[in-house]
Amino acid sequence: AQKVTQAQTEISVVEKEDVTLDCVYETRDTTYYLFWYKQPPSGELVFLIRRNSFDEQNEISGRYSWNFQKSTSSFNFTITASQVVDSAVYFCALSDAYGSGNTGKLIFGQGTTLQVKP
């Protein structure tokens, strides 16, 4: 069955610290996609990144970086030199088409609340 686990419910750091948000997934499909979304207090889910199961290269975008490891079924997200504006709930999500052709279904983790203190 498809499942996404974000074991860290809440993380609190002081500004400028680095922080890593963990994401572990389960799927029986060989083709799947992984996503990270940010949900600030305003409520909107903001898309951050999408990775496919065939591309294990790590990705960096400014202070954000993502580490995809198929061997451990993990897709972790690191924020370098965190800032107060990074405070939000972060969701990891999995889209696979197991048993449904090419139709995807997005499965979300429980989310990790990140608080960055000044």
Partner 1 sequence: ETGVTQTPRHLVMGMTNKKSLKCEQHLGHNAMYWYKQSAKKPLELMFVYSLEERVENNSVPSRFSPECPNSSHLFLHLHTLQPEDSALYLCASSQDRAVQETQYFGPGTRLLVL
Binding site for partner 1 (CB under 8 A): 31-33, 35, 37, 42-47, 50, 52, 91, 95-97, 102-106, 108-111
Residues 6+ apart with CB under 8 A from 42: none
Q: Closest CB to partner 1 among 42 and 71? A: 42
Q: Closest CB to partner 1 among 37 and 77? A: 37
Q: How far is residue 78's CA from residue 8's CA, in Å, rounded to a whole number? A: 13
Q: Could you tell me the smallest distance in angstroms from the CB atom of residue 93 to partner 1?
A: 8
Q: How far is residue 13's CA from residue 78's CA, in Å, rounded to a whole number? A: 13
CA-closest candidate to residue 116, choices 22, 40, 46: 40
Q: Closest CB to partner 1 among 87 and 95? A: 95
Single-letter amino acid code for the residue at 15: E
Q: Could you tell me the smallest distance in angstroms from the CB atom of residue 100 to partner 1?
A: 9
CA-closest candidate to residue 64, choices 78, 75, 54: 78
Q: Could you tell me the smallest distance in angstroms from the CB atom of residue 39 to partner 1?
A: 9
Q: How far is residue 100's CA from residue 50's CA, in Å, rounded to a whole number? A: 20
Q: Could you tell me the smallest distance in angstroms from the CB atom of residue 5 to partner 1?
A: 11
Q: Closest CB to partner 1 among 33 and 64? A: 33
